[in-house]
Structure 1
């Protein structure tokens, strides 16, 4: 985190090379107000003034921090979350140079996408974290339905699909202190006004964009506004323990239930299974070849049919 925040300050001409060499061991919290200040101006494409206009939320997105380019919005969100940022604050960047996914996968996020992270204080234990990811997936899917995408689906645990191709990824991370969850960072990346050939060749076959699906470029600021509104609705359900309603909405849009998959769990445990459903805490329920049922709490599922 230290290096990424230093690089952000350097790109924004807030630190010189000479100054950087002198503060290598300085507590970066001293620079948190500068990082916040940088994020308060409208940028060329993403503009707080347009997102906040008529934004129908009570706290999600009321504080926006927008950047030209960061390594990862989740990293900036983590940094600000431990330095007095407000609940429901949203960090957005026009570009990311080291975006991260599950299992540490990294890539660059070019201009034209929606790359953001939300800081939450949900007061939950670790067992509920998977439900935050599922709830976010529902919010993204509902947002895409609002802009005219037909039948967006959610692939467990963190991808949004259109016609079998990925259009969005979600990364939920906890900020902890003394084994207690202080904040939860919800990172969302939506391939909006991009062309598929902008992605690495190995990803192009399984990826799509809103521009490709709708046939035109859309308004990124409007897309963010609509998503923040849907996110607050689903987060209110979460806060009031409406977990079954969240799961009901998720099941309606599931891309995974009813399919044969290769389950890839941590520590290289791979096996084929049939997806039966999803449990009350967000674990995938699968039937293995020998007929036994298994809960998949973390990992990846590769669709085989």
Structure 2
């Protein structure tokens, strides 16, 4: 959204009633034609603006798009989300973030959030397609980590905690974390994360934390297979949710715990993750590249590995793989 459009919007937001195009033009030093063009752009972005020749323009409803202006009005963070780039439709926010981080000093991009209203080529774990229709929250956070290499995996833990806490606080829903990186409500997935790192030897150039939340997606438009395993916040709450408020809350919850991570407060993060775990103390099936087995998930260790007590009594440590609740 251009600065002039924001200025027009701010005048309308502050006014308790209609404002004439002439008055807006005088305040901003532009023509009435320019005011009309900005109003037209604001309407295209989803703002409900009525108009009449007698009274002028009146803001009746805000947009439901995840525009930087709307998000930053609600942000309480110091770094995360202070820079935002918004796209109505793109292949993948992670691709855009990677291109930016490869072409710019990642330190200058730390905390930037790339947002898309819709992704056509979203990617999840193990290169799987991530269905990303309009109505969801599809974002990538660019990070320049100041975290020891052996604790970088905890960025995903921090992101998982942030989403689960945000959902709980905004809607009073018992969202839980399924190892390694999914958020569930009941027995259905509502969100997921993916961490990508660009590193060379002991030097981490940057990290990209991809976030996908099924906020207001239409479940009946998903494939029958996905409908069996996926839910949305709209379906759980019974009404469309305020995506701007939710994303602002997620970014704030993330920054709080990311700061803990940079300060070396690893134990507190692991304790909170465990308190929100859907996986621990449950019987699960584990599928790795090499094998499949079942057992009870009894713990996670200091490196994020899931500890399984198999049916034969042996204990196995799982670093990566798929986990299925039984």
Do Structure 1 and Structure 2 share a fold, with TM-score over 0.5? Answer: yes
After the TM superposition, which residues 149-298 of structure 1 pair with which residues of structure 2 at under 5 Å, given as runs?
149-177=172-200, 180-266=203-289, 268-298=290-320
Say whether the 8 Å CA contact 1:149–1:214 is kept in structure 2.
Answer: no
Which residue of the partner structure matches residue 121 of structure 2?
98
Among candidates 45, 50, 56, match of residue 76 of structure 2:
56
Instruction: Kindly report the root-mean-square deviation, in angstroms, between the aligned alpha carbons of the 2 structures.
Output: 1.7
Distance 2:163 2:208 in 1: 16
SS in 2 for 1:291: coil
TM-aligned CA distance change 1:273 to 1:86, over 3 Å: same
1:83-122 Cα distance to aligned partner (Å, 9 max, x none): 2251111000000011111111113311000000101111
Distance 2:150 2:295 in 1: 24
SS in 1 for 2:76: coil
Which residue of the partner structure matches residue 30 of structure 2?
none
Report how many residues are paired.
Answer: 263
Distance 1:119 1:95 in 2: 19
SS in 1 for 2:312: coil
After the TM superposition, which residues 2-151 of structure 1 pair with which residues of structure 2 at under 5 Å, given as runs?
44=46, 45-84=65-104, 85-151=108-174
Deviation at 1:158, TM superposition (A): 0.6
Deviates more, 1:108-117 or 1:80-89: 80-89
1:265-286 Cα distance to aligned partner (Å, 9 max, x none): 12x4211121001111211111
Deviates more, 1:157-166 or 1:170-179: 170-179
TM-aligned CA distance change 1:285 to 1:43, over 3 Å: farther
Q: Which has the larger radius of gyration?
A: 2
TM-aligned CA distance change 1:166 to 1:271, over 3 Å: same
Deviation at 1:156, TM superposition (A): 0.3
Distance 1:163 1:149 in 2: 13
Deviation at 1:140, TM superposition (A): 0.3
Which residue of the partner structure matches residue 26 of structure 2?
none
Runs of 4+, deviation exceeding 4 Å: 41-44
1:125-175 Cα distance to aligned partner (Å, 9 max, x none): 543232111111000011001211321100001110111210001111101
Which residue of the partner structure matches residue 13 of structure 1?
none
Distance 2:210 2:90 in 1: 13
Deviation at 1:290, TM superposition (A): 2.0
Distance 2:292 2:242 in 1: 41
| TM-score, reference length from structure 2 | 0.77
Say whether the 8 Å CA contact 1:68–1:94 is kept in structure 2.
Answer: yes
TM-aligned CA distance change 1:279 to 1:246, over 3 Å: same
Task: List alignment gaps of at least 5 residues for structure 2.
Answer: 1-41, 47-64
Which residue of the partner structure matches residue 300 of structure 1?
322
